[in-house]
Amino acid sequence: MTIESSGDAPLRTVGKAELFLGFLKIGLLGFGGIAPWARHVIVEERRWLSEKEFASVLGVGQILPGPNTMNAAVLIGDRFQGVIGVLLCLVGQMALPLVIVTTLGIAYERFASVPEVQAGLVGAAAGAAGLVLGTAIKMVRRLKPTPPALAISLLAFAAVGIMQWPLPLVVVVLVPLAVAAAAMEGRA
């Protein structure tokens, strides 16, 4: 066992209202992509899952079709409250963003040409990019992957981030490699 969480791995129950409100918050905060915000709320703020459990759920969400965080919401909802939990997580995650995006769509025509609006959006987008980058680095520091596991991370990063190869291809090649690496090291 060489990948380890930082000791905070409470296997606790999470109630229906708590699930819904948690995902409502994730949806509302989820600027620039949901994963870092989901991690902030689920791991850091409410401690529903340990760092490693969260990464594992997100990894499963990633290899399935659909947004990784939406799949993660399905898995987390089912884990704590079954089918009802799934629906609560999905509705919670989507409700506010849907209202906001249609409002923005209506407002956009009027305010798109205001320089301050454009500059603010660009600044926020740059911040959101940094948020994703920082979240990945923070997770690596917490999980302390072994050298072979870190090699898998770097291969995935290089293939998708630098070479910009199609994700399905990368997944098909790297999942067997990642599982083989875990098996050879006896990580499970």
Give the footprint of other proteins on residues 115-134 (CB under 8 A).
115-116, 119-134
Q: How far is the CB of 169 from other proteins (least distance, A)?
A: 10
Q: Please answer whether residues 88 and 19 qualify as being in contact, where contact means their C-beta atoms are separated by less than 8 angstroms.
A: yes
Residues between 4 and 63 that touch other proteins (CB under 8 A): 27-37, 40, 44, 52, 55-56, 58-63
Residues between 143 and 182 that touch other proteins (CB under 8 A): 143, 145, 149-150, 152-157, 159-162, 164, 166-168, 171, 174-175, 178-182
Q: Please answer whether residues 33 and 128 qualify as being in contact, where contact means their C-beta atoms are separated by less than 8 angstroms.
A: yes
Q: How far apart are CA 113 and CA 110, in angstroms?
A: 8
Residues between 84 and 113 that touch other proteins (CB under 8 A): 86, 90, 93-94, 96-98, 100-102, 104-105, 108, 112
Q: How far is the CB of 94 from other proteins (least distance, A)?
A: 7
Q: How far is the CB of 12 from other proteins (least distance, A)?
A: 17
Q: CB under 8 Å, gap of 24 or more: what pairs does 62-71 form?
A: 62/171, 63/171, 63/175, 67/34, 68/35, 69/30, 69/33, 69/34, 69/35, 69/38, 69/93
